[in-house]
Amino acid sequence: LIVIGERLNSTRKAVAEAVEKGDSEYVRGAAEAQVRAGADFLDVNAGTFFDSEPEKLAWMVETVQGAVDVTLSIDSVNAEAVERALEVHRGRALLNSVSGEKGRIEHLAPIIRKHRPRIIALCMDEDGLPDTVERTVLSATRVVDLLAGLGVGQEDIFLDPLIRPIGTDPSFGKLGIDSTAELKKRFPAVKTICGLSNVSFGLPKRRLLNQSYLPMLIAAGLDAVIADTLDRGLMATLRASLALSGSDAYCSSYIKAYRQGLLP
């Protein structure tokens, strides 16, 4: 499982302040802490800076990669910000996110062709958010085909079925699980990914819900997750779930994590 740390997001007040002030010490510290806690990649988002997102996001990329040697997930809906970020990113980045909406993908096409990032593709298009497994697959097919037209192979795509809050509709939890399992079947070469915490939006004890949902997704074959790696309970659940799903030979990573005091 690839774990993408979600904390360097300007919707978090402390992050917005640090980015505003150019406080590289804070940003480096936040990057290091997430990697230490088990993040493989880090998401960076400066979306709250409406006027200066391109500069701010590029600064975040350079600052974070100055501290930790990991791939960044460039999280922006602003094509100029995406381009600036990809220009300064060392190595091949992950672009978060591309949907099947035609206007959007055409805007990003030249940038994708030029920088060849791996891509988080959303199962969402002109018809909106899918509300059945079959519509999720249809939406996935569209975005995978659009990306193929830009030279992006399935092995470089992370498909996100777009988990929605169970507080809105109690069937959305199961829809996310079933969609993940079905996407794995229909597109064996792609990876599946999700933003875990969406599922609990609007409900009390969100961490409990997120921690209970992650094992379900891992059992369904999830390949990558965007989550808060500083949530020790969540990371312990993640390690236990990998052992339980057979992805941790002889439970050796689990036992190692236990010895390191990582299982509270």
**Residues found near a copy of itself in the complex (CB under 8 A):** 166-167, 170-171, 173-174, 177, 199, 203-205, 208-209, 211-216, 218-220, 236-237, 240-241, 243-246, 248-251, 254-255, 258, 263
The residues with which 75 forms a beta bridge, in sequence order, are: 96
CA dist., res. 168 & res. 187, Å (int): 29
**Closest CB 165 distance from a copy of itself, rounded Å:** 10
**Closest CB 147 distance from a copy of itself, rounded Å:** 30
DSSP three-state, residue 82: helix
**Closest CB 261 distance from a copy of itself, rounded Å:** 11
| 21 or 260: CB nearest a copy of itself | 260
CA dist., res. 155 & res. 210, Å (int): 27
**Closest CB 213 distance from a copy of itself, rounded Å:** 5
| 47 or 215: CB nearest a copy of itself | 215
| 75 or 182: CB nearest a copy of itself | 182
DSSP three-state, residue 195: strand
**Closest CB 76 distance from a copy of itself, rounded Å:** 30
DSSP sequence for 114-162: HH--EEEEES-BTTBS--SHHHHHHHHHHHHHHHHHTT--GGGEEEE--
Whether the Cβ atoms of residue 180 and residue 207 lie closer than 8 Å to each other:
no
| 41 or 254: CB nearest a copy of itself | 254
| 96 or 180: CB nearest a copy of itself | 180
22-32 b/e (C-beta count within 10 Å ≥ 16 → b): eebebbbebbe
